[in-house]
A and B are shown apart, each in its own frame.
Chain A
Amino acid sequence: MFWRILKKDLKRKKTMNIILLLFVIICSMFASASVNNIMAVTGGIDHYFDIAEVPDVTVSMSEDCEADKAISELPSVKSVKTEHYLTVMSSKHFTHNGKKLDNFINPANFLSADEMGMKYFDMDNKVISSVDKGDFYCTSPFVQKMDISEGDEVVLEIGDTTMPLTYKGCFKGALFSNDEMSSPYIIINNEDYRTLAKDKYFNAGSLSTKRLYVRTDDVGAVRDAVKGDDNVYLSTRDEEKGEYLYDMLTAYIMLVISIVLMLTAFVVLRFTIGFTLSEEFREIGVMKAVGIDNGSIRRLYIVKYLAISVAGAVIGYICSLPLSSAMMKTVSEHMVLEAEKQGMLGVISSSAVVVIIMLFCYGCTRKVKKLSPIDAVRSGQSGERARKKNFMHLGSSKLPTTGFLSCNDVMSAPKRFGIITAVFTLCMLLMTLMSNFAVTLKSENMLKFFGVPTCEAHIGDMEYMQDIFTDGTAYQEIIDKTEKMLAENDMPGSCTMSFGANYETFCKDKSAKLTYTVTKGKTDDEIKCDKGRAPENGDEIALTGYAMKELDADIGDKIKTVIDGEEREFTVTGKFSSFQGGGYAASLCRDFDFGNDKITTTMGVQIHFDGDPDKKTIDDNVSKISRIIESDKVYTTSEMIKQVTGMSDTLDTIKKMMMILTVIVTALIVILMERSFISKEKSEIALMKAVGMSNGNIIAQHTIRFAIVSVLACIVSTIILMPVSNLVMNWICSMIGDVSGLKCAFVPVEIFAVCPAILIGVAVIGSFLTALYMKTIKASDTASIE
């Protein structure tokens, strides 16, 4: 009997069932793909680290540092493997097809194939055991935005060495980031490596480094062994997982989208079940009258939704495979994934969608209990009457009749239209949040969190400022030569340079390694403190919240460190936000000097042209500087932001995807709801036609209802957009660094015009087209309506 009733029901409510099926498909598709992605990234990292033989501790240091001896001698250390690197500061030393490379900004590091301290994999996930002479493998940042194929030749010209190398493909290194902004790594044959190492270019202090891979049961002992050595960087296996933060962020964004879709599907389901039950009061009443119990009646409905959800979940799972593989493509370019687990996860998450929907359906069919056999006799009226206050009156309203009826409908069913407004608000937020995130990551405001002062042009070429890495006082020479070059070429301006070094810092009995930053040169910019004030003297300092927490320091406390061989004491004057040093940063007054200490980080040279030139002049000047210093790494501010926050382009893509998804989801909701309304209000539609209302009037009334609801959703989402944007953005930023109190930027046209126009447009067009269906209801249908 179940099957007969089910078959009949599926046929009778074809459109509603199809839309419901579509929702389940979308839900299942996104849930399966995003869970797959999240599990692959989070769970997959451990698997990848295991097979790549990532050690317990990784310690990086310069070639001349002798901390490795102290580590090797520790009794808790089981083994130490060492990798040596040769660093090439600029991409312009590489030539491909006769053109100098300009596709990566950070220095490239060469590694000998004979010294590989971990397992590295080629793109087919095969372990690289050797590299032939003249060949090379590289990480993806080296070949980004480059048209290169296996077998192509790349020529390295550095110092007195010219070395042609054949590209064998990319490789995956568990500890090497694939972020566009990361340093590329290149594995070459040991013989080639030795040839390169002999070149005088690498004699400069910081261009030869080494990395120790330590297996130990006592990470603390290794940490203690290198404590106080400022130029040694230690990271544990867990800390290295942070390299995959970017992949995780994208995966979490997709999961949030899935959850929103799932919530939307629940609302749609709730409406559909509610409408079905209220429409079928007579059937339910009759079933109860003949003695069928509540459970059996509920089962009838649940069987139907089970059929739809199982079908939807299966189709959704199949559809999720290409989506999942598209999402996993990026991840699998970075990691070696467990192939067999992926399919299973998709099946599990699709099944979870079915279970969740079923539980929800069971809850929604509670109304069956309330309906009694009397409902069948009394046309759904229980006989009890409750006074309902009508807020609007046709006689006193100034609205046209159609507008009045639409407004009155919305006001008379606040719960129903409130839920639709909430769903539309969610859809709207999906679009506008992404728009805000993308524009915020592109805004000039972000640069200050990377310690970059306001300016019009940036020189990001590391080789141009190479001297700073060996001598902390070299900044003045770099600033002077840049200002001189600008003046000689009719582009007068002043320059600043931001740079920093890492120091072990002490406060009371606590210690932490912090990135100390300072901006030198002429600028009116001052760091903005969230609490307290910016440092004004050489013995004052501002700390990030993370640093203050780690050191248990507060404003007014004194912290100590050793800079240029001298113990220095600073008074903490304020708390500031920064992405530098992963949020563990300290900002010094402009008067402060690092002396001859090695600088470890710089955000380049910032140029502020005299006389506030227009955009075109700035662009021309940037091209001119680029030609003069023979470097492609001279940027306008907007280009620099793009270089620093590489995620903005991805968010732009996600934003566009969101817009398409919102159009689809909104259209489906509108079609389903409007069809439900038409079926529920059939008697009223017929009556209106009978008393002389035209099709156009009634279609307009239904369309205006959705227009009102979508306008309301736009208003609500606009009101809550900025607080929600700031909250989420700050949460994301807190994972990358210690940034709080960030105010999201927004594009007014997008927020107040484009996104609302999309939502309102889809709602109006969707409801109008669906409402055309009511033409099939005739005035004479009043006779056949119960």
Chain B
Amino acid sequence: MNTVLQAKGLCKTYTVNKHKNDVLKNIDLTVYEGEMVAVMGPSGSGKSTLLYCVSGMDKVTAGEITFGGKDTSKLGDKELARLRLNEMGFIFQQMYMMKNLTVLDNIILPAVRSKKNHESRRKTEERGKALMKRLGIDDVCENDINEVSGGQLQRACICRSMINSPKMIFADEPTGALNGSSSDEVMDELLSLNRDGTTLMCVTHDPKVAAKCSRVLYLVDGGIVGEKKMGHFDPNEMSIRDREKELNSWLMERGW
């Protein structure tokens, strides 16, 4: 399998009032193409920091990160921005969007900016609408972002993360602000994306979400203390309930 993302000896230290806080300690991590990796751990374990560091959104204190064969720790701000724009997609717990743009404009903004596909704006708009239709939110494309529900907005964020056909999508608690049914719908969309070949890395607190991933990393105090390979989720092979049970017992062994 091809490697999409690799981190070696990754360290991140925050200094608050001259007091150093080592959030990530010497982390080695490899994500392969087509994987759906869940990052779990107690609050303050460094899950989100790990996600932001490996995606180039935050600078690392030490270590090496390779994304798509490029050493991102050596890239400048401009190159990192271009990499995020063309090769990565992001989904956040809070459904951040540009307040002054419609839902559709928010989705197509990275594509218009990127020009990766060398297509007309009309074409980009059509692709945006097609994505929205696929995620079942095509009826709100002209709506303002405060006119749609949380679930619809998170699905719009997924559309935005997909618009440039990225190599990998990073999701930070993508279902954290959603209710049960919306959460399931969003996870189903992410699973569907993964089945189509998109690599995903997802930070979550929810074992139900993690149970749908192919691999789970467990972080405690800035270090990976466990890794569970679960294989791609196939409801015909094993029900989600059984996968969740298996994962829960594994997590409890690690102090969850």
Contacts and interface: CB of A to CB of B under 8 A. Distances in A.
B92 A783 contact: yes
B67 to A, nearest CB: 13
A401 B81 contact: no
A779 B84 contact: yes
A413 B99 CA distance: 11
B85 A691 contact: yes
Contact of B86 (A412, A692, A779): A692
A408 interface: yes
Interface in B82-117: 82-86, 88, 90, 92, 94, 96-102, 104-105, 108-110, 112-114
Nearest to A404: B112
Interface stretch (B26-34, B120-128, B220-228, B234-242): B120-128
A697 B57 contact: no
A684 B99 contact: yes
B108 A395 contact: yes
A195 interface: no
Interface stretch (A296-304, A385-393, A511-519, A554-562): A385-393
Contacts of B58: 778-780
A697 B112 CA distance: 13
B71 interface: no
A684 B99 CA distance: 8
Contacts of A692: 81-86, 88, 110, 113-114
A401 B78 contact: no
Contact of B101 (A408, A695, A782): A408
B58 to A, nearest CB: 4
B146 interface: yes
B123 to A, nearest CB: 9
B144 interface: yes
A697 B92 contact: no
Given A387-B144, A779-B52, A690 B128 contact: no
Interface string A439-467: 00000000000000000000000000000
Nearest to B98: A684
A489 interface: no
A392 to B, nearest CB: 8
Nearest to A698: B81
Nearest to B58: A780
Nearest to B114: A692
A695 B112 CA distance: 17
Interface string A681-714: 0011011111111111100000000000000000
B147 A396 contact: no
B20 to A, nearest CB: 18
Interface in B40-84: 48-49, 52, 56-58, 77-78, 81-84
B85 A693 contact: yes
A779 B57 contact: yes
Contacts of A394: 101, 104-105, 108-109, 112, 121, 125
Contacts of B100: 390, 408-409, 412-413
B172 interface: yes
Contacts of B90: 690-691
Contacts of A129: none
A385 B92 contact: no
A395 B121 contact: yes
Contact of B124 (A388, A395, A689): A395
Interface in A643-696: 683-684, 686-696
A56 B88 CA distance: 90
A783 B172 contact: yes
B160 interface: yes
A688 B99 CA distance: 12
Interface string A295-333: 000000000000000000000000000000000000000
Contacts of B142: 390
A780 B52 CA distance: 6
Interface string A403-415: 0010011001100
A693 B106 CA distance: 13
Which residue, of A691, A778, A782, has the highest number of chain B Cβ atoms within 10 A?
Answer: A691
B35 to A, nearest CB: 22
A776 interface: no
Given A390-B144, A694-B82, A401 B172 contact: no
A381 B105 CA distance: 22
B204 to A, nearest CB: 14
B97 A690 contact: no
A79 B48 CA distance: 97
A684 to B, nearest CB: 6
Contact of A694 (B77, B86, B102, B122): B77
Nearest to B160: A691
Contacts of B81: 689, 692-695
A42 to B, nearest CB: 51
Contacts of A690: 57, 84, 90, 92, 96
Nearest to B83: A692
A697 B78 CA distance: 10
B109 to A, nearest CB: 6
Contacts of A696: 78
A408 B112 CA distance: 15
Contacts of A782: 57, 92, 94, 96
B119 to A, nearest CB: 12
Nearest to A381: B146
Interface string A768-786: 0000000000111011010
A66 to B, nearest CB: 85
A694 B48 CA distance: 22
Contacts of A388: 144
B144 A691 contact: no
Contacts of B101: 390, 394, 408
Nearest to B89: A691
A162 to B, nearest CB: 85
Contact of A401 (B92, B104, B113, B160): B113
Interface of A: 381, 385, 387-388, 390, 393-397, 401, 405, 408-409, 412-413, 683-684, 686-697, 778-780, 782-783, 785
30 contacts: A387-B144, A390-B100, A390-B102, A393-B102, A393-B104, A393-B105, A394-B112, A395-B108, A395-B121, A395-B125, A396-B121, A401-B112, A408-B101, A412-B99, A413-B100, A684-B99, A687-B96, A691-B110, A692-B81, A692-B82, A692-B83, A692-B110, A693-B113, A694-B77, A694-B82, A779-B56, A780-B52, A782-B96, A783-B48, A783-B52
In the A-B complex, the 7 residue pairs with the closest CB atoms:
A692-B85, A395-B125, A779-B57, A412-B100, A780-B52, A780-B58, A692-B84
Given A387-B147, A692-B81, A783-B172, 20 more contacts: A390-B101, A390-B102, A390-B144, A395-B104, A396-B121, A397-B121, A401-B109, A408-B100, A683-B96, A684-B96, A687-B96, A687-B97, A687-B98, A778-B58, A779-B56, A779-B58, A780-B58, A782-B92, A783-B48, A785-B94
